[in-house]
Structure 1
Amino acid sequence: MRATLRWAQADFRAHRGEALFVVLASAGVIASLLLAGALFGYAANPWQRVFNQSQGAHIWLHTRAGAATDADALAAVDGVAALSGPYRTAATTIESRGARAGVTLRAADVEPPQTGRPLVAAGSWLARPDAADTGTGSATGSVVLETSVARALWAEPGDTLRVTGPDGAPHLLRVSGTADAAEPRYRPGGAAGIGWVLPATLDGIARTDTGQSVGLRLEDPDDTDFIVQRAVTVLGADRVAEVTKWQQARSEAGGDDRLLGTVFAVFGLGALLAAALAASGAVGARVRGQLRDIAVLKAIGFTPGQVTRGFLVQHLAFALLGVALGTTAIALLGARIPGRIGEAAAVWQDLPGHTALMIGIPGGAVLLIAASTGLSAWRAGRVPPVPVARAALPSAAPMTALGKRALGMRVPPALVLGWRAAFPRRGRTLVPVARLALPLVLITVALVAWSTLDQFRSRPAQVGLAAALTVRSEQPAGPSDAELEETLATVPDIAAVHPGAEMAALVPGQTGTITLRGLGTARQPYPSAVVEGRAVDGPDEAVAGQGLLDLLGVRVGDWVRMTVGGRPQILHLVGRTIEPESGGRVITTTLDALRERDPQLRPAFHALELREGADPRAVSGALATAAGATLEIRETPNPADRLEPARGVIGALIAVLALIGLIELLTLIGTGVRDRGRDLLALKAIGLTPRQIGAMIVTAAGLTALVAALVGTTVGVLSGSWLVDTQGASSGIGAGIVQLPPLPVLLTVIVGAVLGAVAAAALPATRTARRRLADSLSETL
């Protein structure tokens, strides 16, 4: 053991550069993976991130109008760590560009609270009141809207909103900003949104008819139910109107977490595998580069077991050192990186799963590197101690007839010899191409996911979102159907109007409910995104989402019987559509088909198709002007809104994978130059110039990268399409939503890989071409 350690120490002194490269490669890969993990947690768990950053309250108690809140008594409850509020509140209705939403205004100070602090996402927080900030008459106060209600109202900082208070009087408020809060989101027809105003502004809107809200941050979140009982007892059950708990808010955001988590888990595991292969490849290359030293060790009496243990211990120490450096650097300095990456690293420390990833990612990488190192060390133990035995082996494939013919036709020798060096034998060709292709596969999969997200924005009709707006008439004060259609016809940017109605229907056996939708007419059917079968083109025909097909166990071509309002409805499924709403458990037919069962059925809403390039906000404003306050206008929800954080993470993932690919390239280039030492000696002996030798090395690297890029992008496109379609089918939306990256983007990946390989090979090629090769033992082993 002493001799093994002394040899390991001497080997480290003799090959410090190679050892440093292995350590830095391991550290860089682990640091990149940990940063990617931080970004994953930052984007895939938005509610938890907001809760931690805002010091969110675990419990929100909302009292009735006129009921006071005893803050001191609540603060004295055992288990309550801090209070947010109490804040005076008033229930209002806010209108903007024809959209209408119920909003609970909450009186707040000019300084946001420390507990339950809203995180300003756009604009600014409330400013100090001035003479005009009275909130009465035509004067304009300021309001900060929670992000989800601001999106529903199409409200942005600087917009002016119309607010109807409890007494029915109108008021005007200017949006000073939007903010995120770790509370239940706004849902049309469900939970009200949240807006923060100054106390003077709230006094002008509702002087007397106000309630109160108070948030409780707990020492132990598991005590939520018990603390709720204690708090309600302290305030009085007759005074408490509503209680919301942190589990409720988190569960409402859970669908986004699961979807993003699934996608990022696939990418993360693939990146970890690629990183471990790159680091282990660097270790294996170093072992192969020391075959001469191994032969000498065996010649002086080292056993195969001693050689194996020496390499295994030495390279495991390098891997552990690199992993420790990378992990420590991210733990100590990650939060200081400027931009979103630093913010993600700072927030990540308080997110669930942080400790597991900080241990799991480095631990998994070390295990994979150890497995590869053990294999390389075992091969080192089997190296023959006689140098001639290895010198007699050919280092490259013999020149083929095609290569000889190409040289005879005056094809540049660098190109011919570079091809021969890049693809010497089948086994030796497949391994480096496969290792380099893996990061490119994952990069292409990430680009497929990016393109699919872009499709929801740029071509919504192809993913089941043909109607950009939905208009509902307020009954009985609203206009009749004929009057509404005349009003809609006056707006020039509306391309088509589709009357519709939705209702809950019982499935066969009455064990569950689905959504039955009548949309469009037989003369002008709604343009559903049909990906299997055909569109509705006759009586009693319908199309359905993947979620409904899975729920009922039916397929296209079957007849489905359901119960609506106690009466049966039988429809023939002629197609499967992409259905983003209600988990795909929607069956869509024409309004005429529903009127056969109920002749008195009136449209409950109208879906509006807009002309290409029309702005939904401008159309909504024009409709509100044309129809007054008699219409409720809503934008069609887009799943891309929930997946918007994925863009930054996908971009970071591509950068991480590019770094892994660069490390793999450097390893392959260094190994290739070393393994072809005798070939370079022979080529220089027969008259090749240093420039031709350098060009041959660069050409070999470029050709290897080209083949790996072609294979990687092809496999990545196929794998990405399968992954996106599988995720769409499992979520109920349905397969068929995948959008492949444009051809120029894929070509850019291929060209970038080749140029990166050429740039990485330039320096080793120059040094090798200028080095004087000698026919010595170091060049023949």
Structure 2
Amino acid sequence: MKPVHATIRWIRADLRTRPGQALLSVSVVAGVVTALILAITMLAGAMDPWKGVFARSHGAHVWIHARPGTDLSPLSHMDGVTGVSGPYQTASATAVQQGQRAPLELRAMGTEMPEVGRPVLAKGRWLDPSRPDGVVLERTLARVLRVGVGDTLNVRGLDAIAHRLPVIGVADDSSQGPYPAVTPGLVWALPGTVSAVEPGAGSTQLLIGLRLADPSASDFFVQHVVTVLGGDHVDRASTWQQVRASMEVDSRLLGLLLGMFGVVALIAGALAIGNATGGRILSLLQDIALLKALGFTPAQIRRMLILEQTCLGVAGVVLGILAGSVLTGSSLSQRLFGSVTGTASAPLSLSRLALIAAATVLSVTVATLLPAWRGSRVSPTSTVTAVPPSGRLSRFARVALLVRLPPALVLGARDAFTRRMRAVMTIGGLAIPMVMVTIALGCWSTLDNFEDHPEQIGLAGALVARPVGVSPYAAAAIIAADRDVATVYPEVQTNALLPGQTRTIQARALGTSDQPYPFPVHDGRMYARPGEAVAGQGLLDLLQVHVGDRVRLTLSGVPVIIHIVGRTIEPSLSGQVLSFGLDTLQQSGIDTSTLSYRIVLRHGAPVDTVRTRLLRESENRLDLQAAQNPAKRLVIVRVVIFGLLIVLALIGAANLLTAASVGLRDHLRDIVVLRAMGLTPRQVTTTLVAGTSVLALIAVIAGIGGGLALSTRLIDLQGRTSGVGAGIGRSPTIFELAVAAIGAMALAALTAFAMARKSSRIDVREVSRV
């Protein structure tokens, strides 16, 4: 018989004889591949939908908001401009829908879509002169407001007059990020509708979009635009890089979490596969010795073992790709993904799937090399059974004797390290998932802290109030009179041109220097005098400055020198926010009449109850919105963490089953001796369970210790790179760690017990004959 045919026949016979072990190996590989597909889909999906919309809309690379009356015609003739969108008149308004209020930007456009920066229609139709009051909503705004084609949008302008506008379409847009992560929400309307909602031309703005021949030069181009128009005429400028970053913020966290898990799962899975392969080879020593006696060379034995495990790996890869494709394409997955990115996830390309498959199969093959090499060294005259190596009592066994533990536990502690390599791989295969479990629980605790202590992420003000049809001072008096209101802080939001005038960021005057808003300051101190400010990590990175530096900004056309005295935790706008006292604007002569208020409630006061009462007391002359807590946007993280724990438990169970089955086979003869020594079947079972439990205990302790050392560091690193800032990470609670440890130990004990129970059914005479 040819060696190839013999190899195939032996592999088929082995798989039929031990289908459970083969299925376990396939399941581990499939779980790892599924996790990697979900991770890469989330990372790629954060970018691909926006890229698709940008390409289909022939998007503009730069958007300029200018003050009314500004002559924007010179911009279309500037060097490097290949296309122009607009100019369009825009107006600020507020949507009042089903108890929700949302800030809007009404954008006046014609019945024909422009060539550059055109919205991509998703539902309904575009603006139609037959429905002159009809509007088209940006998709994420429509989803938040729960408004669709055929519904009516209730809109109020600055004069608080209500307008009912029929929704005739929903579209995607590439000019800004998803709502409510980026505000205001976009609504397209005919010029007559915009003028009806905001009749005062002085309260509007002009918007123009510019497409560039060199997109990478957009920051420099904005600087040139400000020079041409004058800094006092440019209110806000944004680039395509800013929009892309805003699309990434929340998905990046999920993508990195899933990506890190995928790598950890791949390593742990490789150890599980290597351990399982080693165990299978130990159980095949008789067959290997017989094959060698029949003339098989060591190289042929190695190829046969590697081929078998690689085939199992390929089967797992195929199953994982199918499962990952189903999960990423399901309606539930699309809804969860859409709740973060505002768009549908795109399927992975064949090249990415091929890369995942190749990496996984390579890991399986590498994990099989050492056990296959050791198996190929078996002598043709090997003993019929695989007798475990003898040695001295392990330290655990000696400690167990010193404390006078029962004999069954002493023997189990000794047997745990009979095969050193197997023990190390079992501990590693369990410890690595436990590290990831601890990190995942740290993410969970961080989200819990966001919800339970919003003041630690700059959300001490649970409500934001804007006067509508009432003076700011009268509104402040109504708010302060409520029994559940602790403090009221005035706020003015404006845009600031950065040094070099290449882009704008959000600047807000919140509180005063004498009574500053309670920002969580992690570096430096709070602002205490006019001209001082605190900044988010994203802004410090953008400006390449540190706490203590001074920067020159242009606020509402007025040059202002700001001394940055502290770094805050800033969850909005990727941390690119500057905050200072209201007196900084007043000292610079900047108008502060357009006030809103941040309302800090007394401890335990229900936000919805206070909001309802304030609306009643103000006769609905206040626009009251609850502060947007990022934890509410990241509910999907909890779902993802739960899924990760299930897959990690599968990988851990694979290692435990392998350890328990190899331990049982190693001690078949010992079981006969133990029974002859007088140990009961229960004591024999306890001995085998103890051996696996000792390894699991070491792995749990090592894994939790390693996870605690990494958890807060990784979360803070993610906070820093995302612009939110370091200082947000929280370690898992003692209760969570105890539950995880007990769960892992219970899984180890149950798995070992299920295998050890076979010892009570072993035929002593059959074992004695072998």
What residue identity is the alignment partner of 1:281?
Answer: N
**2: CA distance, partners of 1:152 / 1:11:** 56
2:577 — aligned with what?
586
1:675 — aligned with what?
666
2:687 — aligned with what?
696
Cα shift at 1:778? 8.6
2:209 — aligned with what?
none
Cα shift at 1:640? 3.1
Relative to structure 1, the CA distance from residue 749 to residue 465 in structure 2 (aligned partners, 3 Å threshold; closer, same or farther) is: same
Aligned-residue identity in percent: 36
Moved more, 584-593 or 660-669: 584-593
Relative to structure 1, the CA distance from residue 408 to residue 51 in structure 2 (aligned partners, 3 Å threshold; closer, same or farther) is: closer
Task: Please state if 1:116 is matched with 2:108.
Answer: no
**2: CA distance, partners of 1:666 / 1:11:** 22
- Unmatched runs of 5 consecutive residues or more in structure 1: 62-89, 106-114, 119-142, 196-201, 207-245
Relative to structure 1, the CA distance from residue 301 to residue 516 in structure 2 (aligned partners, 3 Å threshold; closer, same or farther) is: same
Partners of 1:694 and 1:768 within 8 A in 2? yes
Could you tell me the TM-score, scaled by structure 1's length? 0.71
Relative to structure 1, the CA distance from residue 351 to residue 742 in structure 2 (aligned partners, 3 Å threshold; closer, same or farther) is: same
What residue identity is the alignment partner of 1:376?
Answer: P
Partners of 2:463 and 2:624 within 8 A in 1? yes
Alignment of 1:13-92 (within 5 A): 13=13, 16-18=16-18, 20-36=19-35, 39-40=38-39
Cα shift at 1:750? 0.9
1:287 — aligned with what?
281
**1: CA distance, partners of 2:530 / 2:727:** 26
Measured against aligned partners, the alpha-carbon deviations of 1:344-382 in whole angstroms (never above 9, x if no partner) come to 99xx99824253454333332211111122332222222
Measured against aligned partners, the alpha-carbon deviations of 1:77-106 in whole angstroms (never above 9, x if no partner) come to xxxxxxxxxxxxx9985325583544889x
Specify which of 516, 522, 542 is matched with residue 531 of structure 1: 522
What residue identity is the alignment partner of 1:320?
Answer: V
**1: CA distance, partners of 2:669 / 2:454:** 60
What residue identity is the alignment partner of 1:696?
Answer: T
What residue identity is the alignment partner of 2:641?
Answer: I
Cα shift at 1:436? 1.3
Relative to structure 1, the CA distance from residue 367 to residue 453 in structure 2 (aligned partners, 3 Å threshold; closer, same or farther) is: same
Task: Please state if 1:304 is matched with 2:310.
Answer: no
SS of 1:192's equivalent in the other structure is strand
Moved more, 384-393 or 750-759: 384-393
**2: CA distance, partners of 1:467 / 1:279:** 52
**2: CA distance, partners of 1:320 / 1:642:** 37
Specify which of 733, 737, 740 is matched with residue 749 of structure 1: 740
Relative to structure 1, the CA distance from residue 708 to residue 17 in structure 2 (aligned partners, 3 Å threshold; closer, same or farther) is: farther
Measured against aligned partners, the alpha-carbon deviations of 1:497-545 in whole angstroms (never above 9, x if no partner) come to 1123344445555555544433223443211112233434566543322
**2: CA distance, partners of 1:726 / 1:770:** 54
Cα shift at 1:438? 1.5
1:555 — aligned with what?
546
Measured against aligned partners, the alpha-carbon deviations of 1:268-296 in whole angstroms (never above 9, x if no partner) come to 23223333332333222211222233334
**2: CA distance, partners of 1:536 / 1:92:** 32
**2: CA distance, partners of 1:716 / 1:609:** 36
Cα shift at 1:488? 1.0
**2: CA distance, partners of 1:563 / 1:164:** 30
Task: Please state if 1:441 is matched with 2:443.
Answer: no
1:464 — aligned with what?
458
Task: Please state if 1:735 is matched with 2:726.
Answer: yes
Alignment of 1:377-392 (within 5 A): 377-387=372-382
Task: Please state if 1:768 is matched with 2:759.
Answer: yes
1:2 — aligned with what?
2
Cα shift at 1:743? 1.9
Cα shift at 1:666? 0.9
SS of 1:415's equivalent in the other structure is helix
**2: CA distance, partners of 1:649 / 1:717:** 20
Specify which of 347, 367, 388 is matched with residue 362 of structure 2: 367
Count residues in correspondence: 663
1:99 — aligned with what?
101
What is the RMSD computed on CA atoms of the aligned residues? 4.9
Cα shift at 1:644? 3.3
Cα shift at 1:48? 9.1
What residue identity is the alignment partner of 2:443?
Answer: A
1:571 — aligned with what?
563
**2: CA distance, partners of 1:284 / 1:737:** 43
**2: CA distance, partners of 1:163 / 1:349:** 28
Relative to structure 1, the CA distance from residue 303 to residue 729 in structure 2 (aligned partners, 3 Å threshold; closer, same or farther) is: same
1:623 — aligned with what?
614
Task: Please state if 1:262 is matched with 2:251.
Answer: no
Cα shift at 1:735? 0.8
Partners of 1:539 and 1:593 within 8 A in 2? yes
SS of 2:486's equivalent in the other structure is strand
Measured against aligned partners, the alpha-carbon deviations of 1:119-140 in whole angstroms (never above 9, x if no partner) come to xxxxxxxxxxxxxxxxxxxxxx
**1: CA distance, partners of 2:403 / 2:95:** 80
Relative to structure 1, the CA distance from residue 267 to residue 423 in structure 2 (aligned partners, 3 Å threshold; closer, same or farther) is: same
2:67 — aligned with what?
none
SS of 2:364's equivalent in the other structure is helix
2:409 — aligned with what?
415
SS of 2:456's equivalent in the other structure is helix
Partners of 2:539 and 2:577 within 8 A in 1? yes
What residue identity is the alignment partner of 1:521?
Answer: T
SS of 2:635's equivalent in the other structure is coil
Cα shift at 1:388? 6.4
Relative to structure 1, the CA distance from residue 509 to residue 3 in structure 2 (aligned partners, 3 Å threshold; closer, same or farther) is: closer
SS of 2:579's equivalent in the other structure is strand
Cα shift at 1:756? 0.9
Specify which of 508, 512, 537 is matched with residue 546 of structure 1: 537
1:706 — aligned with what?
697
Measured against aligned partners, the alpha-carbon deviations of 1:682-734 in whole angstroms (never above 9, x if no partner) come to 43343322211101111222222222122222222332322221111111111
Task: Please state if 1:318 is matched with 2:324.
Answer: no
**1: CA distance, partners of 2:580 / 2:140:** 31
Partners of 2:388 and 2:666 within 8 A in 1? no
**2: CA distance, partners of 1:35 / 1:389:** 40
SS of 2:598's equivalent in the other structure is strand
Cα shift at 1:485? 2.1
SS of 1:116's equivalent in the other structure is strand
Moved more, 721-730 or 449-458: 449-458
- Unmatched runs of 5 consecutive residues or more in structure 2: 60-90, 108-120, 125-134, 198-239, 338-342
**1: CA distance, partners of 2:660 / 2:368:** 20
**2: CA distance, partners of 1:633 / 1:663:** 54
**2: CA distance, partners of 1:51 / 1:566:** 35
1:635 — aligned with what?
626
**1: CA distance, partners of 2:621 / 2:570:** 30
**1: CA distance, partners of 2:681 / 2:106:** 77
Partners of 2:46 and 2:247 within 8 A in 1? yes
Relative to structure 1, the CA distance from residue 181 to residue 410 in structure 2 (aligned partners, 3 Å threshold; closer, same or farther) is: farther
Cα shift at 1:736? 1.0
Measured against aligned partners, the alpha-carbon deviations of 1:297-346 in whole angstroms (never above 9, x if no partner) come to 33454332222223223333333344445545776x77999x8369999x
Measured against aligned partners, the alpha-carbon deviations of 1:591-621 in whole angstroms (never above 9, x if no partner) come to 3455444497557322111233444444333
What residue identity is the alignment partner of 1:28?
Answer: S
Cα shift at 1:480? 4.2
What residue identity is the alignment partner of 1:29?
Answer: V
Partners of 1:703 and 1:754 within 8 A in 2? no
Could you tell me the TM-score, scaled by structure 2's length? 0.72
Relative to structure 1, the CA distance from residue 540 to residue 425 in structure 2 (aligned partners, 3 Å threshold; closer, same or farther) is: farther
**2: CA distance, partners of 1:152 / 1:413:** 65
Partners of 1:154 and 1:617 within 8 A in 2? no
**1: CA distance, partners of 2:607 / 2:638:** 23
Moved more, 767-776 or 484-493: 767-776
Cα shift at 1:170? 4.6
Relative to structure 1, the CA distance from residue 194 to residue 626 in structure 2 (aligned partners, 3 Å threshold; closer, same or farther) is: farther
**2: CA distance, partners of 1:751 / 1:680:** 29
